Amino acid sequence: MKSRNFLDRIYRFLNLRPVYHALFWLVLFGVMMLDGLQKGNNWWFTISNELIGLFFYAILVYFNLYFLIPNYLARHVLSYFGMVILSCALITPIEVLTLYLKLFNLPVYRNHLVDEQFDFFLGNLFVILLSTMMRLVMDWWRYQNEKQMLLTQTIQSELRFLKSQINPHFLFNTLNNLYALTLKKSDQAPEIVLKLSEIMRYMLYECNERRVLLTKEIQYIHNYLDLERLRQPKEADIRFTTAGAMSEQMVAPLLFVPFLENSFKHGLNHYLQGGGFVHLHLHVQGEDLEFRIENSKAMESVPRQNHPRSGGIGLTNVRQRLDLLYPENHTLTVSDEPNCYAVTLHLKMI
């Protein structure tokens, strides 16, 4: 975690415009100095010449960044390249003339300058196109980061909504059943109140971390299923089995809730012939987790308007959340058979 925070700070520092501009010019000046020194020139002679070259590079680069790219590149690509070539053609003679006047007492170097004017032009053209390429890369990088931040905010909003809501039908049916038990003075009533309070406490207060203990998620599932058994027909076959050691593992909070809710809302709740089933199995081996949930499907079609979808988040958003929280560390498979719907999640808990 500390190394991740350190890398995040480095990223934010390097993403500051003055920082990456300074790095660009330092690297470019270092390359220019190395080239000049390899030609056998002394330090002061090389530094003074390369600083002049760097000055003209800066004129071209910032003219390109703040005028040519905004006004030409996106709308008129051919015009943009024409303006780039024209800018280099205008700057190159001025740069050569400046160096020519500086080297007034070195006629050999002056003659080289006149002979190498085209090389100066190519150097200017290379630097201005390099700045264009880097601008495009930085813009693409920022776009990807903004897109990722927007996705993160969306998923976090969905998670906050998921944590702060309970399926209204589930809650009201539980309360109705609880009311019936209290009228009968059933011994089950206190237990139902306790389980419902545990569910609400977990969803509202204990899921604020990025990871929670897997055992708490399992206890949430048990409580949820116990309340569902109360309101489902006695013939309904609801099972939850676990296997493996799962004392210290951590997972994202409410990771299994969408699958759990959908199995009842679109499975048992729509089963018209009584009975039906919801089977869950969770297996853990080290950091590897497998969660599988199966539910029966109605033999007869149920009008969609009579059973509106409420609460929860869709499978698409579940996939997005998994991609965000467990990139490259999960697989989600869905099996939709005529009589059975099954979802299997393989996860590496890191």
Q: Are strands 340-348 and 330-336 parallel, antiparallel or unpaired?
A: antiparallel
pLDDT of residue 299: 61
Domain extent listing, the chain: 2-151, 165-348
Tens digits of residue pLDDT in 164-192 = 555 555 667 667 767 777 776 777 778 87
- Which DSSP symbol is given to 305? G
**pLDDT value, residue 308:** 39
The pLDDT value given to residue 104 = 79
Angle, helix 168-183 to helix 214-231, in steps of 10 degrees: 60
Residue 261: CB atoms within 10 A of its CB come to 20
C-alpha to C-alpha distance for 153 and 281, rounded to whole angstroms:
31
CA distance 59 to 64: 8
CB 267 within 8 A of CB 296: yes
Q: Tell me which residue has tokens 């048992």.
A: 268
| Cα(70)–Cα(135) distance, integer angstroms | 11
**What average pLDDT values come out for the chain (350 residues) when binned by 10 residues?**
61 76 88 80 84 92 91 86 94 90 80 83 93 89 81 70 56 71 75 81 76 91 86 84 88 86 76 74 93 83 42 66 85 89 91
Backbone angles phi, psi at 106, to 5 degrees: -130, 80
Task: Read off the pLDDT of residues 269-303 as tens digits, 9 standing for 90 and up.
Answer: 665 456 688 999 999 998 899 999 999 887 654 44
Q: What is the pLDDT of residue 300?
A: 55
Question: What percent of the chain lies above the pLDDT cut of 90?
Answer: 27
- Residues counted in the chain: 350
**Candidates 3.30.565.10, 3.30.750.24, 1.10.1660.10, 3.40.50.720; correct CATH number of 165-348?**
3.30.565.10
Task: Annotate 150-213 with three-state secondary structure.
Answer: HHHHHHHHHHHHHHHCCCHHHHHHHHHHHHHHHHCCCCHHHHHHHHHHHHHHHHHHCCCCCCEE
Contact, 207 vs 163, CB < 8 A? yes
